[in-house]
Amino acid sequence: MPQPTNATNEQRLHLAGAALLFGMAVLLAGLAYVQVVTSLEHEAEQKNQSRRTVRLPAVRGAILDVQGRPLAHDRPSYVIHTYLSELRHHFRKAWRDAPHDTRTEAGVRHRVIGDFIAQLQLDQPFILTERQLQKHFIEQLALPIPVMRDLSQTNVAWFMENAWRVPGMDVEAQPHRHYPSESVAHLVGRLRRPQSIPDEDHPYNYRLPDFTGAMGLERTFDETLRGSAGTKSLLVNNLGYRQREKIVVAPTPGNIVVLTLDLEIQEAAYKALEETGRKGAAAVVMNVQTGDIIALASLPVFDPNLFIPGIPSKLWNEYREARPSPLLFRATQERYPPGSIFKIISGLAALEAGSNPTNFVYNPGYAEVGRRRIDDTAPPGHYDFHEGFKHSSNTYFITRAIETGVESIITLGNQFFLREKTGLLARQEAKPQFPTLAEVQDRSNWQDGDTANLAIGQGPIAVTPLQMTVMTAAVANGGKVFSPRVVDRIMPVDPSRTHEAQQFPPAKVRGTLKVKSENLAHLQRAMLADVADDDGTGKRARIEGFAVCGKTGTAEVRNREGRHKITWFASYGPFEKPKYAVVVMVERGASGGLSCAPAAKKIYEALIARDNPNRIAGNR
Amino acid sequence: MKFIKQLIPWHRLDRMLLLCLAGLMAFGVLFVYSATYNNETYTGAHWLRMPHYKQIIFYGLGIGAAFVLCLRDYQQTARWANVFYWLSLIMLAAVLIPGIGSVRFGARRWFDLGVTQFQPSELAKVAVVLALAQFLSRPLKELKEPKVLLKALALAGVPFVLIFLEPDLGSALTLLPPALVMLYVAGAPRSFLRKLVGGCVIFVSLVLAYVFFMPKDWQPIQFPDYQKRRLMVYFNVDYASQYAGVGASQAEIRQARALQRQDSYNVVQAMISVGSGGLTGKGWKQGIQNAHGYLPRGVAHNDFIFSVIAEESGFAGSTLVILLYGGIIVAGIRTASQCRDRLGRLIAIGVVTLLFSHVFVNIGMNIRMVPVTGLPLPLLSSGGSSVVCSLMALGLLQNVRLYQRTI
């Protein structure tokens, strides 16, 4: 064999070998590029196709009354979830067995789930419709589908025992907003499904049902009650079925809002209003020393529970169209003429203007102002301040108002902030109406007749029951006009974070009445007599051992619906050491003394019972 | 004991080759298991049907076959090369006859043996390497004669055409590198080789041009559509331009795009698997792509086993795999260069080139360097024919090492 050729062959072999190894090096370089250089891109692609993020709403914080009783809270609601991934074989099998001409995918799946539910023999209906199922398949395949909600305890127990019979089903507790008492519906408010998600721009694949406050404190404190949502990450397979899940960020539960309100008194007030037999009414109870609201009741009420998970449109329309409207918070949201309870102010204004309380005014049964006669329900006779107040004599107060001038009423009314909201509620407070000094001094517009009307709480004046409570409380406590408060504090749920609790300051004193104390004492004594004396108009509010002071009122209203009366009872007690102000307003009542005073009495009784638990039995 | 000692010259075994083989087989069992342990097809199946057990059995069979091949000197074995070659030609022809060959995925490539399937093209590749080595080991002078060279070409060409007809373009093409390298190493004239390589390049370009640019109605031979689509996926050609004409409606374009997504699905998912493995991988059995069905279950444990390995063991693992194959190639080149006779040398280089072309094409298609073809990754992919035939080929390599006349 010639040597040179062999040498060439040796060379060729080495070249070939080098080519092969070079090829392997190329592979290695390619792998390095894919697995190291561009690895993150591929990882992102993989996440994108196999991960689904789910927004987990936090448990909403509770709203509690002053005693810690829940007014609104999330309680567990038991839901049967079906994991579709685990039913796939059954779907496939049923699909094969189904008659080919009539079968639809949704129909077959629905029947499979329905059959399994039937095997569980629960005594609740299977509510899922084919359309809902199909929607879930298209939009949220990776999530389990709820097939039965609000399971009763019996059914939960039954399910636990029998769940092994059926594949892919599980019972889960979901937070469900609950409002134990309808009586606080207006104050606590209600929830609704959010139209847009305000809180984050995180691109979630799925969102679990979430609610936001639509009214009342639920709305005002929505942010703090809602907490912050968490994130769950699902791993899905190539068909989109769930394989595994992991909580990436746990939701932080919302804070608890504690009120100054006492549910016991609230319910008593609500019941007292109901027992008036009238359809529209309101009652406010306030601590006259602290300005804390103890009850804020309004009739008629709505049921906030019906808004979860969503109110049927028929029911919503009923609520909207019903008269009197159940959605209106009569304690703060509607303005009424105060009628005779305004004599508290016009009377005090007359005394302040120097009118002698012991001087008499003759009442012929009516008051004559210009050419107009105003009826007086008080029997004819001579009246001084005390008697005029007790009998609610229009003639007395009209005469005194015209004598001393309307300006004194306006000046005093301003000290009660009658033209401004109390600031208790963010969106549920109506702005009251009260003439300004400039208006009454414009003699071309303001006549004696107007002064006469204003003196008895008619004419250009409209107030809310809450405002009258603040007024009555100021009379009771010696002149402190409060900005009332109803929220005491905000607390985290987590007991280890109580230091983060936010305590609201005590109710602010908005202003102090610039009145002589003996005049105030005159007024207080007159209010006591109105209840305590047998001929007082407020005698039906009298309670043995608890000196209630009050003033009744009945205002005429003429509007499109015809003529009717707004009846009032503004009161506080006990006389010696005032503690509570109670104002009751009843629409279309008979009179303040007949419709409102008895309701106020029931509220005082509840307050007394609360403060002296031992006396309950003896008192009723 | 003495008997066993005398069977083969144990002390001359190529330890590097064996070590790399052992490493690859370990990888194979581990990752075939990982690729199939949660595959519904095998839940509750008899353990003999489980792919990883089958893999172990085939490793055993392959090692047995390789051992048998090592019992006699390769000079003697090579005398049977022609018999072996013709036998595989007959099988290649037989598998094309309906009723004998069975059809899977639209191609007639298998004999159904009941318990398992046998793919004759795998055997044919080894037979061609052996026959070509035997043929080319004739005196150098004769290799200058065009007649001899053409004969050598025919030796590789006939099985190429038969495999091509199955159709299995990928397998057929893997015959080209060993044939070329063996001709080159054997000492074929430079001018001839130049023409041959040039011819191949022209042929391939013509095929591509034909597939892509010739209007469908004018094509005298219709390529199987999937071949064309695979090439289109590889070259990232927009389906809409090929399948929906100029005035195509939106619906047609959407349909074409959907088809494109469907066709490129495997490659895209394989890329994601390999790439998301990163440096160290997600851990054995922790791969998401395979476990959750993104990598089609039908191919995860055979043609796309490398995706599973790369996702679960990362760049570290794939480097190790490359090194193990590289080790075998180095062992083969060393054997070839130490071997004094041309037969042994050609067998050695032919075997490693065959191995190389499989590895290159298979791993290459996982990272989109090479168009997708149904080609197994030797020793790692689950599949009896491939494993046994690869081990037989490596047995031939070992044989050369055992019996070569060194300097």
Band (pLDDT 50/70/90 cuts) for residue A395 is: very high
Long-range interactions of A502-507: CB distance < 8 A, separation 24+: A506/A290, A506/A291, A506/A292, A507/A290, A507/A291, A507/A292, A507/A482, A507/A483
Decide if A129 touches B, using CB distance below 8 A: no
The pLDDT of residue B328: 96
Burial code (b: 16+ CB inside 10 Å, e: under 16) for A489-517 equals: ebbbbeeeeeeeeeeeeebeebbebebee
Query: Which residue type does A366 have?
Result: Y
Check B272 against A46: CB less than 8 A apart: yes
Q: Are A393 and A536 spatial neighbours (Cβ–Cβ below 8 Å)? A: no
**What percent of chain A has a predicted confidence (pLDDT) above 70?**
96
Instruction: Tell me, yes or no, if A445 comes closer than 8 A to chain B by beta carbon.
Output: no
Contacts of B386 (CB under 8 A, 6+ apart): B119, B122, B376, B378
Chain A nearest-CA residue for B314: A35
- What is the distance in angstroms between the Cα of A116 and the nearest Cα belonging to chain B? 23
CB nearest to A24's CB, from B271, B310, B322? B322
- The verdict on a CB contact (< 8 Å) between B276 and A39 is yes
- Per residue in A275-320, pLDDT tens? 999 999 999 999 999 999 999 999 899 999 998 878 888 999 999 9
Question: Between vectors from CA A36 to CA A30 and to CA A41, what angle results, nearest 5°?
Answer: 100
User: Residue B105 pLDDT more than 80?
Assistant: no
* Residue extents of the structural domains in chain B: 12-403
Say if B363 is an interface residue toward chain A (CB within 8 Å): yes
Give the pLDDT score at A513. 92
Q: A39 CB near a chain B CB, below 8 Å?
A: yes
- pLDDT tens column, A159-204: 888 888 888 888 888 888 999 999 999 999 999 887 665 555 566 7
Decide if B289 contacts B307 (C-beta within 8 A). Answer: yes
Q: What is the rounded CA–CA span in Å between residue A564 and residue A280?
A: 12
Which residue of B lies nearest to A44 if distances are taken between CA atoms? B276
- Cβ–Cβ contact B329 with A under 8 A: yes
* pLDDT value of position B230: 72
For the ranges A384-393, A545-554, B368-377, which has the lowest average pLDDT? B368-377
Confidence of residue A6 (pLDDT cuts 50, 70, 90): low
pLDDT tens column, B70-84? 988 888 888 889 999
pLDDT at A234: 82
| Banded model confidence at residue A3, pLDDT cuts 50, 70, 90 | very low
Query: Is B318 in contact with A35 (Cβ distance < 8 A)?
Result: yes
Among chain B residues, the shortest Cα distance to A243 is held by B292
Res B110: pLDDT = 77
> Within a 13 Å sphere around the CA of A310, how many CA atoms are in the beta-carbon half?
7
Predicted pLDDT at A583: 96
Tell me the average pLDDT across A147-160. 86
The pLDDT of residue A420 is 92
Distances (CA, A) of A75 to A11, A264, B231: 84, 21, 61
Q: Is B337 exposed, middle or buried (0-12, 13-18, 19+ CB in 10 A)?
A: middle
Closest chain B residue by Cα to residue A13: B185
What are the beta bridge partners of residue A191? A213
Residue contact A13–B185, C-beta within 8 A = yes
What is the average pLDDT across B246-253?
Answer: 71
B110–chain A nearest CA distance, Å = 30
Per-residue pLDDT, B169 = 78
Is B370 an interface residue toward A (CB < 8 Å)?
Answer: no
Interface size, chain A vs chain B, as Cβ–Cβ contacts under 8 Å: 132
- Convert the pLDDT of each residue in A59-73 to its tens digit: 899 999 999 999 999
A8 and chain B in contact, CB less than 8 A: yes
Nearest-Cα residue of chain B relative to residue A16: B181
pLDDT at B141 over 80: yes
CA A317/CA A305 separation, integer angstroms? 16
pLDDT in tens, A411-462: 999 999 999 999 999 889 999 999 999 998 888 888 888 999 999 999 899 9
> How far apart are the C-alpha atoms of B51 and B28, rounded to whole Å?
10
pLDDT in tens, B270-322: 899 999 998 998 888 888 888 787 888 777 888 889 999 999 999 999 999 99
The arithmetic mean of pLDDT across residues A401-419, rounded, is 93
**Mean pLDDT calculated for residue range B184-212:** 84
Contact between chains at A20 and B288 (C-beta distance less than 8 A): no
CB nearest B279 (choices: A8, A33, A36): A36
Percentage of chain B beyond pLDDT 90 is 38
Report ipTM for this prediction: 0.90
CB–CB contact A41 B275 (8 Å): yes
Per-residue pLDDT of A100-122, as tens digits, reads 888 888 888 888 888 888 888 88
Q: Is the pLDDT of residue B46 over 90?
A: no
CATH topology of domain A54-259: Penicillin-binding protein 2a (Domain 2) (3.90.1310)
Residue B214 pLDDT: 64
Q: Between A406-415 and A448-455, two packed helices, what is the crossing angle to 10 degrees?
A: 40
Token reading at A268:
């008593």
Whether the pLDDT of residue A548 is over 90: the answer is yes
Domain boundaries, chain A: 54-259, 329-595
- pLDDT category at A1 given cuts 50, 70, 90 is very low
**Contact list, A9 vs chain B (CB under 8 Å):** 185-187, 342
| Whether the predicted pLDDT of B268 surpasses 90 | no
Tokens of A114: 């329905």
Name every chain A residue with its beta carbon within 8 A of the beta carbon of B369.
Answer: 26-27, 30
Find the closest chain A residue to B364 by CA distance.
Answer: A27
Pairing relation of β-strands A51-56 and A206-207?
Answer: parallel
Put simply, the answer to whether A13 touches B294 (Cβ < 8 Å) is: no
Q: Is B197 on the interface with A (CB under 8 A)?
A: no
CATH 3.20.20.70 correct for A329-595 = no
Interchain pair A36, B336: CB under 8 A: no
Greater confidence (A426 vs A546) lies with A546
Residue B255 in this model has a pLDDT that exceeds 90 = no
Query: Is pLDDT above 50 for B100?
Result: yes
Residue in A closest to B274 by C-alpha: A35
pLDDT digits (tens, 9 = 90+) for B323-333: 999 999 999 99
Residues in B touching A238 (Cβ below 8 Å): 292-294
- Is B337 touching A (CB cutoff 8 A)? yes
Lowest mean pLDDT among A143-147, A390-394, A607-611, B352-356: A143-147
DSSP lists the bridge partners of residue A296 as A284
Q: How far is A239 from chain B (nearest CA, A)?
A: 8
